[in-house]
Structure 1
């Protein structure tokens, strides 16, 4: 269901250290990291990730990403979410800054959360 969950933290370094230590027994480690404003991605299997970033917002808005098996599902998600009242936050398309096959779409949900559908598979 989830590809990754991303949420903001007020003390980036302390929160990163907390989650890495607390989740180490589960095999969780850093997969990638950018600036504190972009954040850190942690995973135990390279498939599902927990991501943290520094923010001053309280409460911090959530970023929820759902797995899509095919790119057509990402397109359909985007259309359906807009029809359901969401606001566009990124049309379906490749995001090569993440990786070559990262095909995703983003909408802002009714409560302001960033909702994403992402397909990691190459185009069929």
Structure 2
């Protein structure tokens, strides 16, 4: 099980604007501190944390943050409309389009996805595989 994902950022304020445009709508809450941004899903009293957490941090070695080649973080949305809405909100909040929301021939018929780059260049996917919505072939 993946416990957490961390991406580096040189400008935490820009990163916060970008991630706040979509992660709260997916149920994540933000804790901010001198070490950066920590997004987590809610936990009921007496329950184990819902993983993974998502962290946006300055680099530990002090060198500029960079996006991993081939690395991507994907967040699951409730439905196709939420993918479109959050993709648009993230673009408005400083992200760059890496692929408009829609179906991709290389993936299953119900996998609906949009791709972005955060202000640091990290690749982010927003997807839905909601079986109650029309698929690529329907």
TM-score (norm 2): 0.45
Answer 1 or 2: which has greater helix percent. 1
Answer 1 or 2: which has greater strand percent. 1
TM-score (norm 1): 0.50
